[in-house]
Structure formats: structure tokens, C-alpha cells
Amino acid sequence: MTAPARMTGGMTEAIPGATTDPAHLEKARTLAKEDAVAGLRWLFASGLIVESKGDSPDCLRAFVGALPKDKPLLDLADLIESPQVRAVYQSAAYDTLARQDPALAWRLWSERAPGHADEPVVPIFLREFRTSGLKEAWQNLLRHRSGAVIAPSDFSVICQAAEFRDEDAAQAIRLLQEMPDGAGDVLLEDPRAVAALARHAPARLGEWLDALPADSQRDHAYAAMAWHCAARQDFRAAQTWLERIHNEGKREETLAHVRNQMSSTPVGTKVE
């Protein structure tokens, strides 16, 4: 039997609203059950292999959700030549597997490693984190593929998740600090991530910042620590973090917040 031809080139831009059109959703499910290869070609040609937003239904999710949950679900990705488009399909496939059968998702990702080293693990990792915590997700990651890594940008998603807890924050900081060549330090430039770390593990975040040279790229982290200290009515500590902020506008904004906290607090130390 001749193998199906690969899908080459980039992806056609979808018509606005097409990814969530009810008729398209139903067609995606039908093709998944009747002719998966034809279904994938239709998605590709129609520009419907796009990154899913949140948990809302779309054509790609409808398609992979109707496919049998086994290795062929992932083998279909090999028909897509574009690495970017292929990664989007693989992410949707692994996310679907991780929702329904996390153990199967981990096993297939591990088994496919020899010929598919670049397959995304983040969808599985994030589902594991949301149900079991960061420590368990990390252990599972290394259990299935020693030396595997999670990018700092993915830690940003984790930090901002509703399920993010104090123990997760401490674990995240440790893992980021252990990244080679200071690669994890880039997360300190992410305002939402550092705000979450300051809420959940302020002492660990402070220690991390103290161990690094002052850098204007970390102004969001210094500001987050100042906000945290002000909320605890520790205005002397807030002043110390304020003095590290390089950007004048950011410093003034943070100072205004600290002073507002002081005005509503019966006791405290004045921030000059």
C-alpha cells in the first residue's frame, strides 16, 4: 500500500470564525471517523490547524478528539512537512490524550522519542501540573525522558495558572535557577510571572534576585517584591526593592502604590 503524500508548504489562512463554525466542527468529527488522512488534508488546506485558545472547542480539537486514542493519532503528524504546523497538530493531539488518559499520553510521547525528539511535551506537562502539582509533573517528565526540559516561557504559563500554589512557586524557582547558562533568569523579565512568584514564594524570589547583578530588565521583579513588602506593611524592605528599579516611570508607579499602602496602614515606616 502506497503511503499518503506529505502536506507541503505553509498553511492557508482560515476565514474568520471558521475554526469554531458548527458545520466545520461536525465535518471535522465525521472525517476523523471515516477518513483521518482526508480530514487532516481538509484541515490543512482550510487553514484550520491553528493553536487552540483556552478550552473552547475548535475544528482541530474536534478532529483529534474523534480519532482513536492510540499511536496513529500521532502518526498523522508525520504527513505535515511544516515544523510549525506539525507542532500545532501534535500539541492538540497530546493535549487531548492528556485530558482523557494521561498515562497513555506520557507513554506514547516516550515511545516516539527516538524518531520524534522535537515532539511537544508541554500539553501533557501542563495537564499533569494542573492535577498533581509541579513537582509530580517534573518527576513524570524525567521518568519518561531523562534530560527533558521545559522552556522558561512555559514556566510563565504555569506561574499564571489558577492552580499555581506556594509549593509550585518554590519548585519553579529552583528549576529555573538550575537551568544552564542562566537561561531561567529570563523569566524575571515577565511581569505576570514575577507577580505570581512574589505572591507565592517571596523569600525564594528575593534570594534569587539577590544572587544576580542588578539589571534594568528585572525591574518588574523588583517592583513585584516592593508591592509584596508593602502589602505586608514592611515598608523598609519595600524601599530597598524600590531603589533597585532602574526605569523612572516604573519606579514612580511602584512608589505611588507603596505610599498608597502606607496611607491606609496605621503603622509602618515611611518611604521617602
Q: Which string of DSSP letters, residue by residue, matches 152-194?
A: HHHHHHHHTSTT--HHHHHHHHHHHHTSGGGGGGGGGG-HHHH
Tell whether 194 and 140 lie within a shared domain. no
Q: Residue 179 pLDDT > 90, yes or no?
A: yes
CA distance 143 to 140: 5
Same domain, 128 and 210: no
- Give the list of residues 6+ apart from residue 106 with CB closer than 8 angstroms, or none: 124, 140, 144
Across 80-84, 122-126, 155-159, least confident range = 80-84
Same domain, 14 and 120: yes
What cell does 67 get?
480519532
Same domain, 113 and 194: no
Domain for residue 102, yes or no?
A: yes
Q: Over range 228-253, report the average pLDDT.
A: 96
Which amino acid is present at 235?
F
* pLDDT tens-digit map of 69-87: 887 889 999 999 999 899 9
* 113, 143 Cβ separation under 8 angstroms: no
Angle ∠(53,59,60) on CA atoms, nearest 5? 70
Q: In the chain, pLDDT over 90 holds for what percent of residues?
A: 75
Spatial separation of the C-alpha atoms in residues 176 and 172, rounded to whole Å? 6
**H or E stretch at 38:** helix 36-45
pLDDT interval class at 37 (50, 70, 90): very high
In this structure, the answer to whether residues 140 and 192 fall within a common structural domain is: no
**What pLDDT digit, counting tens, does each position of 4-31 carry?**
777 777 666 767 788 889 999 999 999 9
Question: Across residues 169-180, what is the average pLDDT?
Answer: 96
The amino acid present at 40, given as its one-letter code, is: L
If we measure between CA atoms, which residue out of 64, 16, 19 comes closest to residue 40? 64
By residue range, what is the domain housing residue 245? 186-272
Q: Is 11 in the same domain as 117?
A: yes
CA dihedral over 157, 163, 166, 167, signed as positive or negative: negative
Contact in structure between 123 and 113 (CB atoms under 8 Å): no
Residue 45 maps to a domain: yes
Tell me whether residue 150 is in a domain: no
> Coil, strand, or helix at residue 116?
coil
Between residues 17 and 123, the one the model is more confident about: 123
Within a domain: 177: no
Is residue 154 exposed (0-12), middle (13-18) or buried (19+ Cβ within 10 Å)? middle
Q: Please indicate, yes or no, whether residues 29 and 137 belong to a single structural domain of this protein.
A: yes
Model confidence, pTM: 0.84
144, 161, 176: which is the final residue of a domain? 144
4: in domain: yes
With respect to residue 133, please indicate whether it lies within any of the assigned structural domains: yes
Do 18 and 137 share a domain, yes or no? yes
179 in a structural domain: no
Q: Of the residues 144, 171, 202, which one is the last residue of a structural domain?
A: 144
- Shared domain for 15 and 132, answered yes or no, is yes
133 and 15 inside one domain = yes
Domain total for the chain? Answer: 2
**Residue 163 confidence (pLDDT) above 90:** yes
Both 131 and 200 in one domain: the answer is: no
